Every structure is written in structure tokens, then in C-alpha cells.
């Protein structure tokens, strides 16, 4: 019989010709618990039987059994060995047994829930595929209900258009949706810009900047040519008053309206990024006529640093009125000429969590510090809901135990005098000593070393509320905020320093309670498992397939340790042999004392546990 099946599965011969058509064998079934996968596999088998002319139900059963793999093959083998009376004997009973085993009981209910929540979120093709997948799992849904549900799930404009054509079937509604969506997708044709050659002359610095600005706007070669018919128009000397670029007018500007503001600012990071690539020649002055340094347009790093520190500043000011237990260091605030004229000592927080430096506005002095306004203000929301605006940066000098330092910091209303962040650490590269929280700062030119030690601050005790009023007590009782309430009488006795509590002073109730649970508080664990307390914990994994991971590789020493620990646990009755299909590998981690601790890797199993409250996990 098997030979006949093999021969018939290989070829199909035509009626009166020598033409031979080969038929591909169906795929194997691995035991997926999915209604669509199982029904598709059964359908492919029945189509295969009709092509190779297999009509005997016994032969169909043998072909189906030969294609079972993994969990499906294990299921049939177990049923044949332990329940031979209900083992399928033909193809029809085999299909029924497969559906009963591998289609979940709640598959139809889940499909109905998915159908009720299904709406179009992308294109029509994806929506149709998802709709068909759910529809195959609901066999009792009528065509009219399916058509109505499909149309209701379409996006609103498309739904109205499909309903206006009054489709008579689900297939017609799907074709209409695809056709209407395809008709609405207009093809956008980009205009082809003429290939204008680059100028061959050596441009000046301002010309290079002008060409760069036009290049950002998409103008090849620094110029833009618009054709009016076949007559070219020369826009070389036309300036745009919207973006300040050249080669086009304001009405033809592709950039958004600037509302009267300066055009150079609208480019943001892109303009500054391209400015870095310009090689500025000697014709561009470094300072203005008054000797003041020219403004640096590349201020993106300021915005990036302040945005990165938003969460840091929020958490820093969370307890603004409370004292801190963070180590603070003593610096001397100096004038602009260095350490020769130090003004006052300040308390400094060294924190790598901050990207930049921050100084309190109470220390800002315009006469001794260089104050610079930021290009854009940055708002920081503090924990109390207030919004602090950072709009200035100051430059000043400090002395760290005799080592002069030049520091730039943002002005921010903080409880610390000065916060030195990553900017200061990168600039002066202090060396930490974590044993006493001190820092060593190299001196000028690497000569000498200044040591900063934390300042010993007298920390206030934590604020505790020991007294509450009668009204507060009544309000707390009404809101059920009091779990336990005790009345304590404080009585002074004799020598209370030498008072020792002994078991003789315990009351009868306490002694009775301890005697009742004497078997719990033992000095040595008894052999075997603890007694049954009437509570059974269940680890729910849903429809997940059993997972059995391969064991990890072990050295001979680890194998001996594994056998020793397993024997010890078996002798005590803490573990027992198991035939469960679930399995997790074992690995060893060396303790501080040098011994090996046996650990079980339950990560895969825990990831399959149903996420419910109070669900126990394997540890």
C-alpha cells in the first residue's frame, strides 16, 4: 500500500498523453495550536488526495500520520499507546481528533473579540488580510453579517464611498474598497531641476556662505532657474526676504513663513552644521569694531545640554527646602583675574549626573563676572510645579584649594551655590578617592596636586511629626488612614539601664502562641517538605507550549558538585524525580567564600507566565 501511495504522490499522468505533472507533497504539521494553521494543513492534504487520486480513507490516514512532527507526533503516539480504543481508524475521525486537540476551546471567542475590535488603521490590503484571518476562525458568521462588519471597520471617508455603491456581497465590498483607495492615490511628480554647472571662480567667504544657504534650500550651484515657457529667467541677483537666500523671490520661497523674524535663525541645527564645514578665510574678522567677540551661531550644544539636564534639575529641586546628605566641597569665588583676589567661600556639589555647570543667581555679580545671554530661553519645571527660566550664562573664576579654575555655568535657582557637572570633569579631570569621597585636582601644567575633601556639615534631624490634634485624629479615622492605635503609659522605674526582658515576664497568651508554632521556629530544618497549609499555588502559562532548554556545558568539577547537591536534596526530601515536559538548565555561580552555588535559569518559563496579580514566579 505504501508503494502505491508513493508512486501516486510523485506523478499524475494525463488522460491520453505522456505528459507527467509532479505534485509537491504537503507540508508537515508540528502541532501548532492555531485553527487557521490546522485547517489550512487539512485543506492542503485533501487537495493533494484529489490530485494523486487517493480515495481510500485508510490510505489518507496513513499519509496524514506520516506528516505529523514534534508535538503532533507525540500526541498521536501517546493516544495510540494509552487510549487505543479512541485512536482514529480513518481520515474523517482523524480530522475530528486533530481539531479537538489542537484548536483551543476559546479560539472562536477570541476571534469574535478580535473581529469586534478590528478597524482599518493602515491600507485596505492589510485590513482585508486581517479580516479574512479572523473570519476563517468564525464558521457560523453569515455572509451578511461579515459584509456589514467589514464595511463598518473601514475608515470614515472610504466607508461612506463604499456604502454609496451598495455592494451586494463581501467580495464586492472588498473590491470596491481596493478600487476607491487606488483611485485616491495621486502620483506626485517632482519637477526636474536643470543641471547648472558649478562656478569655476574662487569665491570669497561671503559668497561661499550665500551659496551654502541656497544649497540648503535646494538651489543647485547657488542659483535657481525657473522656466516661464521656453524663455529662461535670470534670478541671479534676486534676494528672498523670507529666508534671506539668493536665486528666488519671497513668493517662490519653499521655506515656511518667517513672520518678519531674521532668516538666518530659521535654519537651526542644519545651518549651523553646514557652517562648520565652511573654511573661513582671513577676510572675515574675528572681532567687531568695538573689540567684542562676534556671536557664535553654533549654539546647538547649549540647547542639547539643557534638554539633557531637564530631568536632573527636576529631581534635584524635588526637596528644595530640605538639607542634603550629599558631600559638598569648599571652593573660593574669585574675581576675573584668578586666585589673587578671592571674594567668598562657597559650597560646591560635584555631580556627574549633570551635563553642564549651574550657579545660584544669588552669587551672580555683573562687576566680577562675564554674563552672556543665551540665544533661546530654556524653561525647567521643578517638582513644586514652578517654571524656572534659564536665560543667562556666566563666566567666572574659582579657587579649588589653591588651584585657580575658569568656569562657565548657567544661572539656575538652586539650593546649592554651585553645581559642577560633566563639563567641569572633562575640563579638569579630577581623580577620585572613593574611600573618603575626596578628589585630587592636578595643578597648572600638571605640577602639584590639590586635594578636595568633603565639608563636614551638621545635618539636621529628619522632621518627624510626633503630635497631632484631635481634629486631625478624627479626620484620619473617617478616611480609614489609621491601621492600628495604641494607648501607651510611660512609667519610670528604678534602674532602667539594666532592665533585661526575660521569658518569665511574658504573658500566658504570648507563651501559648509561641508553643503553638514551635514546629515553625526550629533551629534545624526537619527532613522532607513542610506540611500542607491548604494553599495551592498554580503557575499559569496559558496555551504556551512546554519549554525544555538544553543543559549548559559543565566542567568535571561542576558535574561532581551537581551530583553532590542533588543527592543531598534528594536525601532530605526537598526534591523528587519529575517527568514534566518543562525543564530549565542549571548553572553554577561561585560564592564569595569560593563554594559553588547552584542556580536554575527560569527566565524563559517566567516570560511565558500569564501576567496576573499575585501570580507566583519560579525563582
More confident residue, 81 or 577: 577
As a whole-number percent, the residues of the chain with pLDDT over 90 amount to 5
77, part of any domain? yes
Is residue 347 within 8 A of residue 324, CB to CB? The reply is no
pLDDT classification of 564: cutoffs 50, 70, 90: very high
C-alpha 602/C-alpha 587 separation (Å) is: 11
Place of cell 534650500: 217
Q: Which of 126-135, 186-195, 207-216 has the lowest mean pLDDT?
A: 186-195
Domain that holds residue 420: 319-452
- DSSP class of residue 461 equals P
**Nearest C-alpha neighbor of 429 from the set 455, 410, 403:** 403
Q: Answer yes or no: do 89 and 123 share one domain.
A: no
512, part of any domain? no
Residue 29 neighbours by CB distance under 10 Å? 23
462, part of any domain? no
Q: Answer yes or no: do 115 and 153 share one domain.
A: yes
DSSP string, 144-188: HHHHHHHHHTS-HHHHHHHHHT--SSHHHHHHHHHHHHHHH-PPP
Please tell me the total number of residues recorded for the chain in this structure: 619
Q: What is the mean pLDDT of residues 541-564?
A: 89
Q: Answer yes or no: do 120 and 35 share one domain.
A: no
What CATH number is associated with residue 380?
A: 2.40.70.10
343, part of any domain? yes
pLDDT of residue 460: 45
C-alpha 203/C-alpha 223 separation (Å) is: 14
Number of independent structural domains in the chain? 5
**Nearest C-alpha neighbor of 178 from the set 133, 125, 119, 126:** 125
More confident residue, 153 or 404: 153
Q: Answer yes or no: do 325 and 448 share one domain.
A: yes
User: Between the CA of residue 357 and those of 317, 352, 360, 421, 527, what are the distances in Å?
Assistant: 15, 10, 10, 5, 63
Per-residue buried b or exposed e for 46-85, using 16+ beta carbons within 10 Å of the residue's own CB? eebbeebebeeeebbbebbeebbeebbbebbeeeeeeeee
Q: Answer yes or no: do 335 and 448 share one domain.
A: yes
Q: Answer yes or no: do 332 and 406 share one domain.
A: yes
Highest mean pLDDT among 174-188, 232-246, 415-429: 415-429
401, part of any domain? yes
Q: What is the mean pLDDT of residues 239-244?
A: 76
Joined together, the cell numbers standing for residue 493 give 522605674
- Three-state DSSP state, 23: coil
Q: Answer yes or no: do 431 and 551 share one domain.
A: no
Q: Which of 125-129, 206-210, 439-443 has the lowest mean pLDDT?
A: 206-210
Q: Answer yes or no: do 326 and 428 share one domain.
A: yes
595, part of any domain? yes
User: Between the CA of residue 571 and those of 424, 559, 564, 568, 586, what are the distances in Å?
Assistant: 62, 18, 11, 5, 20
C-alpha 378/C-alpha 302 separation (Å) is: 10
Contact residues for 619 (Cβ-Cβ < 8 A; gap 6+): 602
C-alpha 21/C-alpha 48 separation (Å) is: 13
pLDDT classification of 563: cutoffs 50, 70, 90: very high
CA atoms within 13 A on the CB side of 446: 0
DSSP string, 254-318: -SPP-TTS-GGGGGHHHHHHHHHTS---TTS-SB-TTSPBPPPS--HHHHHHHHHTHHHHHHHTT
Q: Answer yes or no: do 423 and 324 share one domain.
A: yes
pLDDT classification of 565: cutoffs 50, 70, 90: very high
Per-residue buried b or exposed e for 332-365, using 16+ beta carbons within 10 Å of the residue's own CB? bbbbeeebeebbeebebbbbeebbbbbbbeebee
430, part of any domain? yes
Report pLDDT digits (tens) over 273-324.
Answer: 444 454 445 455 544 444 444 444 444 556 666 666 666 666 665 544 445 6
- Three-state DSSP state, 600: strand
Contact residues for 323 (Cβ-Cβ < 8 A; gap 6+): 457, 459, 460
Q: State which of 435, 452, 469 marks the end of a domain.
A: 452
Q: State which of 395, 422, 452 marks the end of a domain.
A: 452
As a whole-number percent, the residues of the chain with pLDDT over 70 amount to 68
436, part of any domain? yes
List beta partners, residue 394.
Answer: 371, 409
Report pLDDT digits (tens) over 334-356.
Answer: 876 544 556 678 888 888 878 88
Q: State which of 50, 69, 102 marks the end of a domain.
A: 102
Q: Answer yes or no: do 38 and 8 share one domain.
A: yes
Q: Answer yes or no: do 368 and 337 share one domain.
A: yes
Q: Answer yes or no: do 125 and 10 share one domain.
A: no
Joined together, the cell numbers standing for residue 470 give 484631635
- DSSP class of residue 16 equals S
Phi and psi based region of residue 259 (left: phi greater than 0; alpha: psi -120 to 50; beta: remaining)? left
Note the helical H segments in 499-589.
Answer: 508-516, 556-572
Structural element, H or E, at residue 97 = helix 91-102
Amino acid at each position: 500500500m505504501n508503494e502505491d501511495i508513493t508512486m501516486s504522490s510523485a506523478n499524475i499522468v494525463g488522460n491520453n498523453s505522456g505528459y507527467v505533472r509532479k505534485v509537491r507533497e504537503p507540508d508537515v504539521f508540528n502541532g501548532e495550536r492555531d485553527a487557521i494553521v490546522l485547517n489550512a494543513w487539512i485543506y492542503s492534504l485533501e487537495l493533494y488526495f484529489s490530485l494523486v487520486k487517493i480515495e481510500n480513507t485508510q490510505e489518507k490516514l496513513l499519509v496524514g500520520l506520516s506528516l505529523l512532527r514534534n508535538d503532533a507526533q507525540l500526541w498521536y503516539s501517546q493516544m495510540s499507546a494509552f487510549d487505543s480504543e479512541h485512536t482514529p481508524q480513518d481520515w474523517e475521525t482523524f480530522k475530528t481528533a486533530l481539531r479537538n486537540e489542537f484548536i483551543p476551546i476559546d479560539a472562536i471567542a477570541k476571534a469574535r473579540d478580535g473581529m469586534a475590535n478590528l478597524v482599518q488603521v493602515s491600507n485596505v490590503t492589510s485590513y482585508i488580510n486581517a479580516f479574512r484571518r479572523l473570519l476563517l476562525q468564525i464558521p457560523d458568521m453569515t455572509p451578511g453579517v461579515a459584509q456589514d462588519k467589514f464595511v463598518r471597520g473601514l475608515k470614515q471617508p472610504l466607508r461612506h464611498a463604499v456604502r454609496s455603491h451598495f455592494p451586494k456581497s463581501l467580495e464586492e465590498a472588498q473590491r470596491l474598497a481596493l478600487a476607491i483607495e487606488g483611485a485616491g492615490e495621486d502620483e506626485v511628480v517632482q519637477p526636474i531641476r536643470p543641471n547648472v554647472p558649478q562656478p569655476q571662480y574662487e569665491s570669497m567667504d561671503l559668497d561661499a556662505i550665500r551659496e551654502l544657504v541656497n544649497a540648503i534650500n535646494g538651489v543647485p550651484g547657488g542659483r535657481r532657474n525657473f522656466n516661464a515657457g521656453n524663455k529662461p529667467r535670470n534670478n541671479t541677483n534676486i534676494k528672498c526676504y523670507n529666508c534671506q537666500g539668493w536665486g528666488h523671490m519671497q513668493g517662490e520661497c519653499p521655506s515656511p513663513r518667517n513672520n518678519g523674524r531674521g532668516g538666518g535663525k530659521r535654519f537651526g541645527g542644519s545651518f549651523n552644521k553646514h557652517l562648520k564645514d565652511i573654511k573661513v578665510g582671513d577676510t572675515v574678522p574675528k572681532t567687531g569694531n568695538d573689540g567684542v567677540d562676534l556671536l557664535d551661531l553654533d549654539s546647538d550644544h547649549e540647547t542639547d545640554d539643557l534638554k539633557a539636564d531637564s530631568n536632573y534639575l527636576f529631581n534635584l529641586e524635588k526637596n528644595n527646602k530640605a538639607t542634603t546628605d550629599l558631600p559638598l566641597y569648599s571652593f573660593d569665588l574669585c574675581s576675573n583675574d584668578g586666585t589673587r583676589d578671592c571674594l567668598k567661600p562657597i559650597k560646591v556639589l560635584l555631580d556627574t549626573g549633570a551635563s553642564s555647570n549651574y550657579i545660584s543667581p544669588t552669587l551672580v555679580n555683573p562687576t566680577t563676572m562675564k554674563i552672556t545671554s543665551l540665544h533661546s530661553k530654556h524653561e525647567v519645571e521643578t517638582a513644586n510645579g514652578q517654571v524656572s527660566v534659564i536665560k543667562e550664562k556666566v563666566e567666572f573664576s574659582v579657587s579649588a584649594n589653591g588651584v585657580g579654575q575658569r568656569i562657565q555655568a548657567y544661572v539656575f535657582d538652586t539650593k546649592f551655590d554651585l553645581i559642577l557637572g560633566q563639563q567641569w570633569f572633562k575640563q579638569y579631570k579630577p581623580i577620585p578617592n572613593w574611600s573618603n569621597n575626596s578628589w585630587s585636582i592636578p595643578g597648572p601644567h600638571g605640577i602639584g596636586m590639590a586635594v578636595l575633601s568633603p565639608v563636614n556639615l551638621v545635618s539636621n534631624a529628619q522632621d518627624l511629626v510626633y503630635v497631632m490634634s484631635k481634629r486631625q485624629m478624627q479626620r484620619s479615622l473617617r478616611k480609614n488612614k489609621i491601621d492600628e492605635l495604641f494607648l501607651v503609659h510611660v512609667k519610670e522605674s528604678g534602674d532602667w539601664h539594666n532592665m533585661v526582658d526575660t521569658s518569665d515576664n511574658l504573658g500566658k497568651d504570648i507563651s501559648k502562641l509561641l508553643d503553638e508554632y514551635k514546629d515553625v521556629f526550629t533551629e534545624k530544618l526537619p527532613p522532607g517538605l513542610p506540611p500542607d497549609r491548604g494553599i495551592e499555588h498554580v503557575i499559569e502559562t496559558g496555551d504556551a507550549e512546554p519549554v525544555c532548554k538544553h543543559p549548559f556545558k559543565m566542567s568535571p568539577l561542576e558535574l561532581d558538585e551537581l551530583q553532590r547537591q542533588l543527592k543531598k536534596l534528594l536525601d532530605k526530601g526537598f526534591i523528587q524525580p519529575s517527568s514534566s515536559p518543562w525543564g530549565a538548565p542549571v548553572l553554577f555561580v561561585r560564592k564569595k567564600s569560593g563554594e559553588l552555588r547552584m542556580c536554575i535559569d527560569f527566565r524563559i518559563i517566567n516570560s511565558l507566565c500569564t501576567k496576573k496579580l499575585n501570580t507566583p514566579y519560579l525563582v
